[in-house]
Amino acid sequence: MSKAKGEALAEWFDGRVGLFKMAKANLRKVFPDHWSFLIGEIALYTFVIIILTGVYLTLFFEPAMNEVVYHGRYEPLNGIRMSQAFESTMDISFDVRGGLLMRQIHHWAAVLFIASMIAHMMRTFFNGVFRKPREINWLSGAGLLILGMFDGFMGYSLPDDLLSGTGLRFMEGAMLSVPIVGTYLSFFFFGGEFPGTIVISRLFTLHVLLIPGIMLGLLALHMILLVYHKHTHEPGPGKKNMNIVGPPLWPVYVAKSGGFFFLVFGVTTLMAGIAQINPIWMYGPYRPDQVSTDAQPDWYMGYSEGLIRLMPGWEINLWGHTLVLGVFIPLVVFPMVLLAIWLYPFLEAWITGDKREHHLNQRPRNAPTRTAFGAAWIALYTVLLVGGGNDLFATHFHLSINAITWAGRIGFFVVPLVVFAITRRVCLGLQRRDRDKVLHGRETGIIQRLPHGEYIEVHEPLPPGERYTLTAYEQYEPLELPPAVDGAGVERKLTRKERLRARLSQFYFGDGGQIAKPTAEEYREHQESQHH
């Protein structure tokens, strides 16, 4: 009887919402299976962990800057004046059951969230997943990354300890460096002179409400487009541009993903239990007249610190006003570092002029210039991270801090170019190797002596599946500029844009930009010559 009532209720509900029909159609969707897709899942699951632990912490945190005297379990700070925000964070750490574990899970999850998003972005970049029709997904992921970075910085600032206060002072300096409106920006953000009395409550609203709300919207868009377009799949036998090979979403993919979520949660909890992070009681409450030693931001904002530390302290004084180029130029370069990688897909689409849909991954070696650009970007990011910790490198390795700073300044311009050139050469070498493997087969290690005395190594042909995988990709032809004079003898007027596009196309896909893959005719001719 109850079953009949349950079925009737389900039918009533489905008749008005239609979820059952929709779910039945979508749960059998095929999803390709590859380990690299797990990187994006780590980002998703750590975001869920951040939300869950953040809700718990919100119940006990007081985002207020009014002054109180601490009387708690941590004896060294007893009787010390501090803000209510710092006091409530101390209470969470020492008095609330499970509070310190939750704080550490929350912080470690945030660190892993940004790390997995950057790794996921680079996996997407190197495999060419950003191509049509996934440009909007690429941009939504970029939005999630920048919002995650700033939300992490705001959460890091909420306890109002000496370390986070130093970070806020850093941000105030960046605001003040903006010409004309810098002072107004700072006064607006802090509600008066730094540090003011309301900045923590403002950061709290942004950290727990506004930015997570926008991120949830972007994440929903990201996941809807992912389900609609599905994952791209790796090249191989039976895998083509317009088909999908893999297990269905239900039950296989859902079971795997569910288990992986608990694995990520478990590892994050283990890290939080054994590795201390952000021990605010060691820094003490924030005071504007003090700066904590070892003041470093979380690693994902470290490149902004590196830009400031590597930039010479240039200033321009005009009509009684000072333009602090030593801070303002890094503030301008800060978003450009990220925009360089985020806007790259649109540059490549303009060079190729390719408007078709792509659902197959590209092997990084088969796009040498793109892979080299990505490697150069990672190298630049690394140089800036090292620059942001120049004092730590100097003290730990007993080096001159000036030498490290100058190495970072030179490296900012030189290292990406060197890495670009080396990576491109490596990719071209791997393309040559693939070409030789297809034509000559795999080396067996067996040496054979021919009747006339020559020694050769025996090669065995590649299996058809592997041969297909090595050749199942498309190579673009470089654009050629039309003749300077048309058929009627009239000089053609080519715009700078057209000339630039042709030059870039030659650089990408000309003789020095890729190794031509073997054609079917070349393969047949080589096999015939071998038999003769």
pLDDT band at 37 (very low <50, low <70, confident <90, very high): confident
| 278 backbone dihedrals φ, ψ, rounded to 5° | 55, 60
Tokens 């992490």 found at = 152
Neighbours of 286 (CB within 10 A): 27
Most confident of 17-21, 110-114, 434-438, 490-494: 110-114
Signed CA dihedral, 205, 209, 210, 215: sign only:
positive
pLDDT band at 1 (very low <50, low <70, confident <90, very high): very low
**Overall domain count for the chain:** 1
Q: Looking at residue 27, what is its pLDDT?
A: 65
As a whole-number percent, the residues of the chain with pLDDT over 90 amount to 52
Q: Looking at residue 234, what is its pLDDT?
A: 80
| Residue 107 resides in a domain | yes
| Residue 486 resides in a domain | no
Is 162:290 a contact under the CB 8 Å cutoff? yes
| Residue 382 resides in a domain | no
Neighbours of 228 (CB within 10 A): 11
The CATH number of whichever domain residue 99 belongs to comes to: 1.20.810.10
Per-residue pLDDT at 317 exceeds 90:
no
Task: Output Rg (C-alpha) for the chain, integer angstroms.
Answer: 29
| Residue 431 resides in a domain | no
- Domain ranges, residue 138: 34-362
Tell me: the pLDDT tens digits for 220-268? 999 888 888 878 878 777 777 776 776 776 777 778 888 999 999 999 9
Cis peptide before 133 (omega within 30 of 0): yes
The contacts of residue 437 (CB under 8 Å, 6+ apart) are 462, 470
| Residue 331 resides in a domain | yes
Q: Looking at residue 144, what is its pLDDT?
A: 95
Supply the mean pLDDT for the chain.
88
Tokens 């009949």 found at = 4
Tell me: the pLDDT tens digits for 175-231? 999 998 999 999 999 988 888 889 999 999 999 999 999 999 999 999 888 888 878
Between 28 and 408, residue with greater pLDDT:
408
Q: Looking at residue 19, what is its pLDDT?
A: 67
Of 425, 523, 511, nearest to 470 by C-alpha is 523
Which range, of 93-107, 321-335, 410-424, averages the lowest pLDDT?
321-335
Per-residue pLDDT at 499 exceeds 90:
no
Tell me: the pLDDT tens digits for 61-119? 999 999 999 998 999 999 999 999 999 999 999 999 999 999 999 999 999 999 999 99
Q: Looking at residue 55, what is its pLDDT?
A: 95
As a whole-number percent, the residues of the chain with pLDDT over 70 amount to 94
Per-residue pLDDT at 292 exceeds 70:
no
Neighbours of 222 (CB within 10 A): 22
Q: Which helix (H) or strand (E) holds 321?
A: strand 321-323
* Beta-bridge partners for 316: 323
pLDDT band at 452 (very low <50, low <70, confident <90, very high): confident
| DSSP per position, 206-274 | IIIIIHHHHHHHHHHHHHHHHHHH---B--BTTB-TT---S-BIIIIIHHHHHHHHHHHHHHHHHHHHH
pTM: 0.89
Is 211:47 a contact under the CB 8 Å cutoff? no
| Residue 240 resides in a domain | yes
| Residue 463 resides in a domain | no
DSSP state of 486: -
| 391 backbone dihedrals φ, ψ, rounded to 5° | -70, -35
Q: How far apart are CA 435 and CA 439, in angstroms?
A: 6
| Residue 483 resides in a domain | no
